[in-house]
Amino acid sequence: MTAATAAVKAALKEQSIETPSWAYGNSGTRFKVFAQPGVPRTPREKLDDAARVHAHTGVAPTVALHIPWDRVDDYAALAGYAEGLGLRLGTINANVFQDDDYRLGSVCHPDPAVRRKALDHLLECVDIMEATGSADLKLWFADGTNYPGQDDVRARQDRLAEALAEVYGRLGDGQRVLLEYKLFEPSFYTTDVPDWGTAYAHCLRLGEKAQVVVDTGHHAPGTNIEFIVAVLLREGKLGGFDFNSRFYADDDLMAGAADPFQLFRIMYEVVRGGGYGPRTAFMLDQCHNVEPKIPAIIRSVLNVQEATAKALLVDREALAAAQRDGDVLAANAVLMDAYSTDVRPLLAEVREETGLEPDPVAAYHRSGWAGRIAAERRSGQQAGWGA
């Protein structure tokens, strides 16, 4: 094994990809959510499933919660339960989009009483972070307008800034607020945080504990996401990712399924920009409506891992030399060589060296977990959007 391969393997063993609690529950499109047998009924059962993903991949030790979908009486006890499974509770995701009160927005709503209600929820999420030991609060706002003139677009920015400042003021040492942007939907004329520039401007004003989250499904078609990643990293403002695939809009399909090359290009900029490490949150944000959920999450983790391995394999010296020489084709070839490498044998070795089976999907199918949960989780309400 060369020193370079050893370094790549060591870096891969350090990887941490966070899975979202909501991906284990029933979710789908606004047309139909197809319920599946064995889907968790409680936050603890979601953690049980997440533990299977981590057991087979070795790189998914944390689970993001969504409040109130994962509301429990005792968050410290939930964190203890996670620990017993070899997991940790990760990012806390706030939910200020599902109450009737939020018809015209949450923290940007024209009515101060609604804004207060939304803000109180965000502050409650910071309290939950204390109990769970989570470092990050992830904020995505459905706020926006549908029609020109519906509300004062600029005043809405002021209201947003005010709310963010109050949340920011509550953060403790080592805690961050991660602000997520999304081009459109559910609002169709204006969205209050539509793009990385808006998110960046708010985070810049807030301070160093505020950073931007890049959800790979939240851009206009053709957007060069890796460029955004490079710029945010350069500015010290990349907080993390919500990985998923899209063909059209916010499709929330398995990461790396639609465009593995894009995922590689993103991960290359992460590695190049010094963003490969614990300060960047590598999260999945997905829905599995027609495919079995746990193997789909395992597949997504593997796709992120493969893109990372390829990014780590880029011969940076050869690339820099070709770039210095202005050799366009040689530079492009260096990247393509890394991308075209079949990294699956390398990753199988990494797993075997850490005591895992080489093929996580096959190992999961052999484990009998799917049959067990289908048999055991028969009564009660399955978890899903809003439950």
Which residues are at the interface with ligand PSV (CB under 6 A)? 93, 140, 180, 182, 215, 242, 250, 285
Residue 210 β-bridge partners: 177
**Given the complex with ligand PSV, which of 151 and 242 has the nearer CB atom?**
242
**Given the complex with ligand PSV, which of 280 and 346 has the nearer CB atom?**
280
Give the tokens for residue 151.
């509300």
**Given the complex with Mn ion, which of 8 and 255 has the nearer CB atom?**
255
Q: Is 20 helix (H, G, I), strand (E, B) or coil?
A: strand
**Given the complex with ligand PSV, which of 72 and 253 has the nearer CB atom?**
253
Q: Is the peptide bond before 68 cis (omega within 30 degrees of 0)?
A: yes
**Given the complex with ligand PSV, which of 119 and 193 has the nearer CB atom?**
193
**Given the complex with ligand PSV, which of 95 and 331 has the nearer CB atom?**
95
Amino acid, single-letter form, for residue 27: S
Q: How far is the CB of 180 from ligand PSV (least distance, A)?
A: 5
Using alpha carbons only, give the angle 144, 146, 149 rounded to the nearest 5 degrees. 90
Q: Select the binding partner of residue 48 from ligand PSV, Mn ion, none (C-beta < 5 to 8 A, by kind).
A: none
Q: How far is the CB of 368 from Mn ion (least distance, A)?
A: 32
Helices 43-57 and 75-84 sit at what angle, rounded to 10 degrees? 30
**Given the complex with Mn ion, which of 50 and 370 has the nearer CB atom?**
50
Q: How far is the CB of 254 from ligand PSV (least distance, A)?
A: 14
Closest-CA residue to 65 (of 85, 98, 43): 43
Q: Select the binding partner of residue 93 from ligand PSV, Mn ion, none (C-beta < 5 to 8 A, by kind).
A: ligand PSV
Using alpha carbons only, give the angle 162, 201, 248 rounded to the nearest 5 degrees. 105
Q: Select the binding partner of residue 268 from Mn ion, ligand PSV, none (C-beta < 5 to 8 A, by kind).
A: none
Q: How far is the CB of 358 from ligand PSV (least distance, A)?
A: 32
Q: Is the peptide bond before 221 cis (omega within 30 degrees of 0)?
A: no
Q: Select the binding partner of residue 124 from Mn ion, ligand PSV, none (C-beta < 5 to 8 A, by kind).
A: none
In whole angstroms, give the CA distance from residue 164 to residue 175: 14
Q: Select the binding partner of residue 357 from Mn ion, ligand PSV, none (C-beta < 5 to 8 A, by kind).
A: none
Q: How far is the CB of 45 from Mn ion (least distance, A)?
A: 23
Q: How many residues does the chain have?
A: 387
Amino acid, single-letter form, for residue 140: W
To which H or E segment does residue 76 belong? helix 75-84
How far from 239 is each of 235, 271, 305, CA to CA, in Å? 11, 14, 19
Q: Select the binding partner of residue 202 from ligand PSV, Mn ion, none (C-beta < 5 to 8 A, by kind).
A: none
Q: How far is the CB of 223 from ligand PSV (least distance, A)?
A: 15
In whole angstroms, give the CA distance from residue 350 to residue 9: 6
Q: How far is the CB of 198 from ligand PSV (least distance, A)?
A: 15
Q: Is 214 helix (H, G, I), strand (E, B) or coil?
A: strand
Q: Select the binding partner of residue 308 from Mn ion, ligand PSV, none (C-beta < 5 to 8 A, by kind).
A: none
Contacts with Mn ion, residue ranges (CB under 5 A): 215, 242, 250, 285
